[in-house]
Amino acid sequence: MVKQKQKNIGTFLFFGGPAVFVFFAVVLVPLAFGFYLTLTNWNMSSGQHRFVWLKNYKQVFSDASYLSQLWFTLKYAFFSVIFSNAGAFFLGLSLNRGMKGQSVLRTGFFTPNLIGGLVLGYLWQILFSQVLPYIGRKYGLPLFATSWLSDTGRAFWALVIVNSWQLIGYLMIVYIAGFVNIPSDLLEAAEIDGAGGIKKITSIILPLSVSSITICVFLALSRSFLTYDLNLALTNGGPYGSTELASFHIVQKAFLSNQYGVGQAEAVILFIVVAAIALTQSFLMKKMEVEA
Amino acid sequence: MKRQIFLISGIYLLCIFSFTGCTKSSGSTKSRNSSDKEIKLTFFNTSAEVNNQFSELFDVYHQSHPNVTITLIPTPIGGQQIQQFQSLIASKNPATLANLDIGTIYLYKNKFMDLTSEKDYFENISQQDAVDSALLDGKLIGIPYTVQGYGLLYNKRVVDTALGTTFDPSSIKTRNDLEALFKKISQAGVPPVMIHGANWSVGAHYLTLAYALQSPDVAKDVQFVTDMENGKVDLGKNAIYSGLLDTFDLLKKYNYRKNDPLVADYAKDCLDFASGKVAFFFMGDWVWSQIGSLEGIDREYGIIPVPVSNSPDDYGNSRIPVSEPKLFAIDNSGSTPEQQAAAVDFIKWLLTSAEGQAALVSKMGFNMPYKGVTVKSDNVLSAAVSKYIQSGKTISIGVMTYLPADYYTATGDSMLKYLAGKTDRQSLTNELLAYWESVAAR
Amino acid sequence: MKKKNSGTIVKNLLLSVLLVAFLFPFIEVIINSFRTTQQFISNPVSFRIQLSLKNYVTAYKSMNFPTAFFNSAVITITGICLIILFSSMAAYLFARFKWRINSVLFFIMTASMTIPFQVVMIPLVTIYGSIGFLNSRQALLFMYLGFGAPFAVFTFHGFIKGIPIALEEAASIDGASKIRIFFQIVLPLLTPVLATVIVLDVLWLWNDYLLPSLILQSANLRTLPLSTYNFFSSYSVDYGPLMAGLIMTLLPVLFLYLFLQKYIIEGIAAGAVK
């Protein structure tokens, strides 16, 4: 028995050791330290270290704009997840048939990911604020006559669109890798039984893709909640600070208005909220997974 | 098969050892300098548009001072500059020299060297008030190197053509004068004025006048803000504030960007102004760095103040707000005395030598508030601002230094809502007061 | 038969239109990398093609392209190897050995993917700065492993679960050690996922700006994104050279993706999955 335990420890250290150790050192330790700092009045410029316990958290909840921004972020994440996953799933399906030019198409849809978030945001910003209004005024399209970024409602959709646009190519790859794992004889058998396209999707592909869907929904959720570069470049929180997503708001608070404790506290709360949502989602979906 | 295992394990162990065996302290310059004559300095630069010029200048300095090597630390735009600066401090690896916003220097004043002992030296070589405007709580911590002014810039050709005669800027002394002028220009088919719909322009530059004009004494302006924080000010009834906003209404009315005022594309606005699409532009002389190198644009510009009332003698109606927005500061939280001395020498060289002045003025487009600067700048806008400086017709906006770091985003956003017509004057005033009161609660 | 053909044609058409819409910003970058910044600002929509290489020359020089490229390549390649190797091993551990500690660790790692980087940024730099472990490639790689492990472990874990355990059980009965089972049986089966994770992580590492800007302070260590941001100034952007710099930065990754695409397909054709 002891020998088995030793063997197990050996296995654990060999396989998991490095990744877990580095993960602890780089992610968890700073996180814990950061959490500790929210309980003090530590500030970059003063360097003091006095315990203020929950004062920072109280300030977070008395900040009315924080809660409305959190809700705004939730809406944004929700729509981004839906659009990007629906799009990626169907694109993945379409580009998995071995049709001509498939590689080109796959590469094409993936290209948005080749450009970093900040620059991408600036490009779309020009598109929404200069290019589209120019076209809109020229051809008399009222929807595009003024910049989408000048109005809170339309700026929200601009964020969702660009985010989904970038996510689709990324998620499509994950879905394709998953489709590859679906045994082709199952599909052939179904065809022989007379199942049409839609039936194949709903009865075979969808259930066997649950693990891909779990991963993709989780990825889309976490990426959406962590959006910062895109927010900064596309709207910069505008118009008049009405499109500040959670991460952006945290950076503003912690670094720009030098309220580090409050900003970090907001980050801790955000983390708890997102973790709760994401983990509930993957827990529920993992239950639906079919173990091959 | 066994070979494979050995290979994998080998790579595995190698990785682990290469990490544990490596604690390169290559970032710290301290240990290297204790015995060498070679001095290495780092320069943290937030004027991102002149990164290359600074790099070149450091090479030039190295030629004549071969034992001193200065390396540039360039920064990205906006908020991320602060993050990088804070990260340098947090990592206990501060830059020896820093070119920072005066507000940032004030916030971190404990980390910088107090140069008050050199105050006389700098006062002797600079123009009047240049050093005074840079003092923080009475101490000289940041050295000024450029002065900027803002107001209603105008394109001479466009205005003259619209009026049919040469425009005399001194004829605009009151809001009524300005209104009449805008009307005439508008009737000639030219858009009279452009407001750049960004929170920093309307919040940091325009709205700050409401505090800066309360008194020529910066301390009294700061007191005004403190009173607002404590709820002691009835802002709506303050004559200066109301007058300033009445003028803003006038600018709003004739705003070239009226149809979509919040788009705020800086490059486009500057280009439109320089191409003569609009007569006046509420902005500052830093516009030159954006348009100076463009082709096919107008080259003659002027500037007039923003009138806040209809009595010509009221404080501010004939004065241009000027500031020294960035200063050079020397680190005092981790640099050696040799590095600090070398840094001071470098700054003195930069401000007094021919090459230093050439770099600052002609290559970087700064307006040095120093005596005996022989280099001629082609910055027409700075020249226009300098005229006001030389005749003493300036407003100090020093109050800005003492305001919280997020004041212009918060108050600027409220102003933008007003600009876009989403709120009325009363709501704007309430929002501003609510912000200042929230500052007191921090 | 005829019905199938017309359906396919419509679908192809739709996809092509969608593709063009998708690629529009990308096309913008290419076209405008040949125009000057002033031209771009005054007319962002022009489709007139001119082939001036001035921007590329400017970008190449001011980005110090060869050094930056080398730095990016070293960091990316080494980082990928570390992440792939150690994460796949950890994922195997978590997926196949149903111990309490494994589920807990996996849970924590997965949850950590929701942490915004800004939250750990200052503590991270404070801690590692105080022990002098900054401003080196090793420090950056160490941190990339820590930040990259969760996603890789998560992805590998999901796919390992989908692999029939029968193969491993058979090998175990034959007397193979766990190490052998992992490297000879499981790892080859992970090929499609490996390719996926490689592509996604390469993009992340290659284009990452924030972490290198905080960790790498010496000029000679600068990566491509760091040098590309030279074109951003306080108020606006020098679009011409920026776009050229962007194209030069993304071409290597594009080629990598095209290359790996083939590999995914080949791996499948070789019958790896069964």
> Could you report the per-residue pLDDT of C127-146, keeping only the tens digit for each?
888 888 888 899 999 999 99
The pLDDT of residue A218 is above 70: yes
CA pair distance C267, C262, nearest whole angstrom:
9
| Mean predicted confidence (pLDDT) in A144-173 | 91
**Helix extents (H) in A139-205:** 152-180, 184-192, 197-200
- pLDDT band per the 50, 70, 90 thresholds, residue C45: confident
Residues B311 and B363 both lie in one domain: no
Residue C60 lies in a domain: yes
**H helix or E strand, kind and range, residue A118:** helix A117-126
Residue of B15, B49, B265 lying closest to C82 (CB–CB) = B15
- pLDDT band per the 50, 70, 90 thresholds, residue C268: very low
A149 interfaces chain B, CB cutoff of 8 Å: yes
CB atoms within 10 A of CB B217: 12
pLDDT number for residue B30: 43
Average model confidence (pLDDT) across chain A: 84
A30 interfaces chain C, CB cutoff of 8 Å: yes
CATH 1.10.3720.10 fits A57-287, yes or no: yes
Closest approach of chain A CAs to the CA of B89, in angstroms?
8
pLDDT number for residue B161: 95
Residue B8 lies in a domain: no
Residue of C22, C99, C199 lying closest to A108 (CB–CB) = C22
- Give the bridge partners for B39, in sequence order: B68
Residues B222 and B105 both lie in one domain: no
pLDDT 10s digits, A170-205: 888 778 877 877 777 887 887 788 777 777 777 778
Which tokens in the block code for residue A93? 């399906």
CA pair distance B71, B86, nearest whole angstrom:
19
What sign for the dihedral angle of Cα A186, A192, A193, A198? positive
Cβ distance C198 to C80 under 8 Å? yes
**Helix extents (H) in A14-63:** 17-23, 29-38, 55-62
CB atoms within 10 A of CB C159: 26
Which tokens in the block code for residue C125? 């730099």
Helix/strand/coil for B420: coil
A258 interfaces chain B, CB cutoff of 8 Å: yes
Q: What is the CATH number of the domain that holds B213?
A: 3.40.190.10
CB contact under 8 A, B80 and C133: no
CB atoms within 10 A of CB A193: 8
Mutate one of B87, B262, B268 to test the A interface: name it (highest A CB count within 10 A).
B262
pLDDT number for residue A62: 80
Q: Residues A52-63, buried b or exposed e (16+ Cβ, 10 A)?
A: eeebbbebbeeb
A151 interfaces chain C, CB cutoff of 8 Å: no
The pLDDT of residue A282 is above 80: no
Contacts of B69 by beta carbon, 8 Å cutoff, 6+ apart: B38, B39, B40, B41, B58, B62
Residue B354 lies in a domain: yes
Cβ distance B323 to B336 under 8 Å? no
CA pair distance A178, C273, nearest whole angstrom:
12
B71 interfaces chain C, CB cutoff of 8 Å: yes
Residue C149 lies in a domain: yes
Residue B59's nearest CA partner among B49, B68, B50 is B68
Which tokens in the block code for residue B44? 């943290």
Q: What is the DSSP secondary structure assignment for residue B96, as one 8-state letter?
A: S
Residue B96's nearest CA partner among B35, B46, B37, B39 is B39
Residues B44 and B121 both lie in one domain: yes
**Which residues 224-253 of A have a C-beta within 8 angstroms of C?**
225-226, 228, 246-247, 250-251
Q: What is the ipTM of this complex?
A: 0.84
CA pair distance A40, A64, nearest whole angstrom:
23
pLDDT number for residue B399: 93
Positions in chain B whose pLDDT score sits under 70:
1-36, 76-80
Range of the domain at C164: 54-269
Residue of B27, B267, B295 lying closest to C217 (CB–CB) = B27
Mutate one of A21, A90, A119 to test the C interface: name it (highest C CB count within 10 A).
A119
CA pair distance A53, A37, nearest whole angstrom:
10
Residues B166 and B243 both lie in one domain: yes
> pLDDT higher for A80 or B294?
A80
CA-based nearest residue in chain C for residue A23: C146
What sign for the dihedral angle of Cα B378, B381, B382, B383? positive
- Residues of B with CB below 8 A from A146's CB? 259-260
C19 interfaces chain A, CB cutoff of 8 Å: yes
pLDDT number for residue C22: 84
Range of the domain at B158: 150-323+397-440
Closest approach of chain A CAs to the CA of C219, in angstroms?
21
Residues B114 and B157 both lie in one domain: no
Residues B52 and B169 both lie in one domain: no
CA angle (A111, C203, A87) in 5-degree steps:
45
Residue C122 lies in a domain: yes
Cβ distance A195 to A161 under 8 Å? no
Q: What is the CATH number of the domain that holds C260?
A: 1.10.3720.10
Residue B147's alpha-carbon distances to A256, B324, B357, in angstroms, are 24, 5, 14
Residue of A225, A250, A255 lying closest to C114 (CB–CB) = A225
Closest approach of chain B CAs to the CA of A259, in angstroms?
9
Residue A103's nearest CA partner among C157, C261, B421 is C261
- Residues of C with CB below 8 A from A23's CB? 109, 112, 146, 149-150
The pLDDT of residue C269 is above 50: no
Residue C12 lies in a domain: no
**Which residues 145-204 of B have a C-beta within 8 angstroms of A?**
199
pLDDT 10s digits, B413-440: 999 999 999 999 999 999 999 999 989 8
Residues B234 and B347 both lie in one domain: no
Residue B250's nearest CA partner among B311, B201, B181 is B181
Residues B60 and B105 both lie in one domain: yes
Number of domains in chain B: 2
Residue B164's alpha-carbon distances to B152, B160, B173, B177, B182, in angstroms, are 20, 6, 20, 17, 14
**Neighbouring subunits of C (3+ Cβ pairs under 8 A):** A, B
Beta strands in C43-168 (DSSP E): none
**Which residues 44-63 of A have a C-beta within 8 angstroms of C?**
44
CA pair distance A253, A60, nearest whole angstrom:
10
Number of domains in chain C: 1
Q: φ and ψ at B276, to 5 degrees?
A: 80, 25
B404 interfaces chain A, CB cutoff of 8 Å: yes
Residues B130 and B256 both lie in one domain: no
Helix/strand/coil for B321: strand
pLDDT number for residue B35: 45
CA angle (C226, C229, C234) in 5-degree steps:
135
**Neighbouring subunits of B (3+ Cβ pairs under 8 A):** A, C
pLDDT number for residue C270: 43
pLDDT number for residue B20: 41
CA pair distance B407, C15, nearest whole angstrom:
49
β-strands B320-323, B394-396 pairing: parallel
Residues B192 and B111 both lie in one domain: no
